[in-house]
Every structure is written in C-alpha cells, then in structure tokens.
A = this chain, B = another copy of it.
Amino acid sequence: MDIHPVDIKSVTIEGLFWAERLRQMQEIVIPYQWELLNDRILEAEKSGAVQNVRIAAGLEKGDFYGPPFQDSDLAKWLEAASYVLASSPDAALEGTVDELIDLIRSAQEEDGYIDTYYIIKDRDMRWTNLRDMHELYVMGHLTEAAVAHYDATGKTTLLEVAQRAADLMIRVFGRGRGKIRGYPGHEEIELALVKLCRATGEKKYLKLAQYFIDERGRQPCYFIKEAKKRGDDPTGPWGSGLPDYWQAHAPVREQRTAEGHAVRAMYLFSAMADIARETGEEELSESCERLWENVVSKRMYIIGGVGSSHDGERFTEDYDLPNESAYAETCAAIGLVFFAHRMLHLKTDARYADVMERALYNNVLSGISLDGKHYFYVNPLASFPGAGKPHARQKWYGCACCPPNLARLMTSLGTYAYSQTAEALFVHLYLGGSVRFDIGDTPVEFKMKTAYPWKEKVTCTLGCKEPVQFKLHLRIPGWCEKPKIELNGEKIKVKKKMLKNGYLVIDRSWKDGDTIMMLLPMPVKCLESHPEVRMNAGRVAIQRGPVIYCIEEEDNGAGLNDILLAKKAKFKIKSGSGVLSGVPVIRAKGYRRSLSGWKKTLYRVAGSPLKPTKITAIPYALWANRTPGELLVWIRAAK
C-alpha cells in the first residue's frame, strides 16, 4: 500500500480554530519573522540571518552574526513561506522569496558549498567539526526549503542550490578513498535528502542519507576521532563524556532507548522511518518501532513533549518527567510530530496519529502566543515564579530555532491531516476545510466542517462528478470511546471489523453530496501517570478530547499546588472570555487550605481544615496568554 501525504496544494483550511491561526501565520507571523530575520524589529533579539547571507555573497562587509547554525532560521522561514505560496497566491511574498533565493544562490560557493558561517569565517575549516558546527544541519534545512519551494511553485531556483550542495556532499562523504567517513552532530540532512530524492527521483540522495544513518554510532566513534584531530576535547562541549548526546553511542539499529538531545533524536528517528519506508528494511523498521515505544511509553510528557532536561536539552532516563523543570522544547515536540507522521506512513496505525495530535494541540501550540508574535522555547508543566520573573513567551530568541519551525509545521498542516493511496483517503486530523485528490481519473473533493478540538462534531461531505469507489479511513482518536457516526443521516454502528488499525474504514461507491456526521464525544477525563513517574503520584491531569488542560494563577489565585481536586469531581464546560473567548473552559470543585491561622508557624501537626474552592482549567496550549503567573498541569487529587 503506497500511502503518502496528500499534495499540499490540494488542501484548504477553513472555519474555526485553524483557519484563524493560519491567516495569522500568513498575514502576521511570516511577514513579522521576515522583519526579524532582517533585524528590523528593534525590541527583539538580533537575528543577523539575512545579513550573514549578504556578507557571504559579498554584498556587505562584516562578520558572521549569531550561532553557527543561523542560516537554518532563514531556511525554515523559506520553507514556511513556500507552504503559504502553495496554498494561496501572494505575489509580494513570492517576490520576497525569489529575491532571497537569488541572494542565497549568489552566496553559494562554486563547488556547491552553502553555509555562511564558514564562507564568512574560514573556508579552510569546512567539515572539520561535524559534531558541533551544524553545516550539514544548515544545508538540510535549505534542502527542505528547496523541496517545499519547488513543490509550491514548480521553480527549480532553490532546488538547484540544494542539489549542488548535496552533490558536493556525495563527493565529500562516504566510505570511499579520500572521503570523510563522518556524519552530522545535529541530524536533519538525512530526512532532507530523502525529500530531495523524492522530489528529483535521484536515488543517489537517498543513498547518501542511508550512508549517514548506517555510519552513525559505529565504533570507534567518528566524533572522538574528529575532535582529537582538531586537538579538541573529545567529550564535547556538553560534558556528558558519552556520544549519546549525538545519538552516536551505538549503530542506529542497535539503539534501544531515545537518548541525547531531543530534537536531534527526533530528526534522526524521522529519517530512519523515512528510509525504512523507502527501502522496506525490516531491521531498521523494528528499530524505529522500538525507539518509538521507548519515547511514548516512558519518556514523553502528557502534552506530547520530549527531552525533559534543560541540561543538554535532552532525554534523561525512563519515567524522568519533572514538571517545573521540564524542558519540553517546542522544536522537540515538532520533531515528535515529524517522527509520528513518518511512522504513520511506515505502518498506518492510528496510535501514531494519536501522539501526533497530542503533541500538536498541546506542546506545539503552546509554543506560540495567541497574537502569533511571542514564542516559548521551553514548555514547563508547572511554574511557580514566586518573587521571580514569570515564564513568558519571548518575541524572538538568540537561538531562534522554534519560531520558524512552528511556522513551517503550521503552514503545512494539511499534509499532516490527510494521506492517500491509489484507492483510499486517510483522515488523521480533523480540521475544517477540504482536500482534493484523484481516484483513478476521477477527481474527488472531501470537505470537513468542524470546530474540533473545541467541539465534538465533524461533518464531512463528498464531492465528485460521478460515483467513485474508494476506502475512506477516518481515524477514531485513541481518547474517544464511543464515537457516533452517521452516513447520509443513517447511523453506522461501529463494529470491530470496520476498524483497521484505529481507522474506521468505509469502502463504498461514493456519490456527490454524501455526508458523514461524526460525533466524537469529549467527556472530561482525569488521567494518571505510570506509578514510576514519581512527580505525578497522587495527581491527575485533566483532558478533554485531545486537549490537555492546566490551571493558571489568573483564574485560581496563587498557590496552585495546594489545590486539591475533589473526589469524583464533576466537570462543567463554560465558554471562556477575553482572549479565551470561545474556548471551552472547565470548572470543577476542589479544596485548599486557608493561609490564616498559620501566623509564624512553618510546620504544625497535620489536619488543617480544607475549604471548598472552585477550580478553573484552561487548555494548556493557551496558558500565559493573560497575566503571567503560576501554572500547573498535574493537579493533586483527593484519595
């Protein structure tokens, strides 16, 4: 079954929830980020990204600015801008994109090399520090942008840049005589090369990706050899002393747990899944599944976040999921979406889509403010600023990986929602809008109307000039126990045999105007964690549909950790107000201790009376959009 995401150009997104977010992306975020990348937003941190390319192209004098991987912000922006162009013509944006591509072309070296850090700083030092210097990462992002631009516009201006760079890599890297037998410290080029192969049909790019994947983790470790050659500390700047930070502790087919820097791990696993799909290799596929299981069953926050430690932005150990000090980087959650999306195309199973959805509606969306201009890099699950500075979204970051990464994911959302085969459409995510696709020679339109995830109802309508037989796969979310489905007004009783890997399969000859009404009941649920997640013992997280809720100081006052959710609490849904207008807000009964009667007492014999209190919970992704203050996801629950 050759399942693949639908063409981005065939998707429209309309209606509640996403359309407004995407309009904001197109009208505010993409233009705003362009200003930022050009250093024209004075009150934000300087980027230097465009300036670096101008200097590399010889159009300006100056030194490289920012971290060595600064080019990648520009590439991610280009990728996002291309997705916007794919779905809606925008001459001004297209002009800006073309100009930037021209600039990048003029900065590219004759042999295909394109990384402004080394072009500006020291051409001779190229490829001498694959571990830390991100050249292959930067060129990976440029390649992803090139493929997106080509898909959106049909133009090969940037694709040629990417191909020249990839051809250079083919000459430089590999097992042959005189070649560098290394691989990147930050994975990204691998999955980009798979995309380049798919876009150009050139298998040589897939082969290079395979080489990078196969070589990683072989002993003796390339990074140690490379560091010694440079006269550098072989343990690297991250001090772990182990190459697991770079997923280089073992060959990828032998890795059993997700280790090291979380974004890198997610990009590696994504590429592994891509390659397993392209090659059909069972061993690699099994390794992907094993690593997936380790992540989602032992190392993932309930918000779909991964990488719990600030120190090294990394995975630590099974069940180590601290809340206040959670790192849960926005980019890592985006990486988990990528990994999930690849797994979904390796083995079409709704459990991958469940995790994709969990990450998307919680940790990923938390990364961007409702006004679209402020970003979280770090997403804690509890925050108690006390007398200190509350955790708040920033306009930009010195290391600004997350904002443009959010942009490229959100602007290509349609391709995460739908997949197709020759005889089937898969609906992974429920969002308003439509997708057009062909079954044989028959064009079909599949429309959805929904306010998901705020509302439970999804109405799907088929459009086709003549009846057409195909299998519609509708994902039944893992959180949804009793879905109700009607086809043209008639109830469909969902039986086990109609379900395949978590999808409801309706195989029939579809007629124009056929309508499916889905009701995905979203009762409020309290979830608990595995007993080994010690941080969450005695606590519950509130979930409604795919949305994880939190309590904030704004609604509940300070001292959130002293709040106790009542036993068998009943939950009421109300519509939020202000910036949360239209958002389902959850109310429940709880208790807390009084601060009076304590005077100068710090400790006393237990037994303080509890006084009733009302608990108000809002979606986690929307926290810190009002007065910044305390936050709590895992709430104490009476036993």
- Which residues of A are interface residues toward B (Cβ below 8 A)? 293, 296-298, 300, 302, 317-320, 384, 386-388, 525-535, 537-538, 540-541, 559-562, 564, 592-595, 598, 600-608, 610, 636-639
Contact = CB atoms under 8 A, between A and B. Distances in A.
A541 B388 CA distance: 28
A296 B562 CA distance: 21
A534 B634 CA distance: 13
Nearest to A525: B605
Contacts of A296: 602
B600 A297 contact: yes
A570 to B, nearest CB: 15
B602 A297 contact: yes
Contacts of A603: 302, 527-530, 541
A466 to B, nearest CB: 46
Contact of A531 (B535, B562, B606, B638): B562
Given A527-B605, A530-B603, 11 more contacts: A317-B388, A527-B604, A530-B602, A531-B562, A531-B595, A532-B559, A532-B562, A532-B595, A537-B561, A540-B606, A564-B639
Nearest to A320: B386
Given A317-B386, A537-B561, A530 B639 contact: no
A300 B602 contact: yes
A541 B564 CA distance: 19
B384 A598 contact: no
Contact of A601 (B297, B317, B562): B297
A564 B538 contact: yes
Given A387-B317, A564-B639, A638-B639, A607 B530 contact: no
B604 A528 contact: yes
A608 B528 contact: yes
Contacts of A386: 317, 319-320
Interface centre among A384, A388, A562, A608 (most CB of B within 10 A): A562
A529 B603 CA distance: 5
B527 A593 contact: no
A564 B605 CA distance: 18
A554 B81 CA distance: 59
A606 B637 contact: yes
7 contacts: A296-B602, A302-B602, A318-B387, A528-B608, A530-B602, A531-B592, A534-B561
A606 B636 CA distance: 12
A542 to B, nearest CB: 10
A596 to B, nearest CB: 10
Contacts of A606: 525-528, 540, 637
A244 to B, nearest CB: 13
Contacts of A605: 525-528
A546 B597 CA distance: 23
Q: Which of A528, A593, A606 has the most CB of B within 10 A?
A: A606
Given A297-B601, A317-B387, A525-B605, A559 B531 contact: yes
B530 A598 contact: yes
Given A532-B559, A636-B537, A639-B639, A293 B608 contact: no
Contacts of A526: 605-606
Nearest to A322: B324
A10 to B, nearest CB: 35
B639 A610 contact: yes
A527 B598 CA distance: 13
A562 B540 contact: no
A562 B534 contact: yes
The 4 closest A-B pairs by CB, nearest first: A534-B561, A528-B606, A297-B600, A526-B606
A526 to B, nearest CB: 4
A610 B639 CA distance: 10
Contact of A537 (B387, B530, B535, B562): B562
Given A386-B317, A386-B320, A602 B298 contact: yes
A601 B636 contact: no
A531 B636 contact: no
B541 A538 contact: no
Contacts of A541: 603
Contact of A602 (B317, B529, B638): B529
Nearest to A630: B534
A528 B610 CA distance: 13
A138 to B, nearest CB: 32
A15 to B, nearest CB: 30
A495 B318 CA distance: 58
Contacts of A388: 317
A70 B421 CA distance: 74
A538 B540 contact: no
B384 A534 contact: yes
The CB with the most chain B CB atoms within 10 A, among A388, A561, A595, A637, is that of A561
A609 to B, nearest CB: 11
A598 to B, nearest CB: 5
A479 to B, nearest CB: 10
Nearest to A541: B603
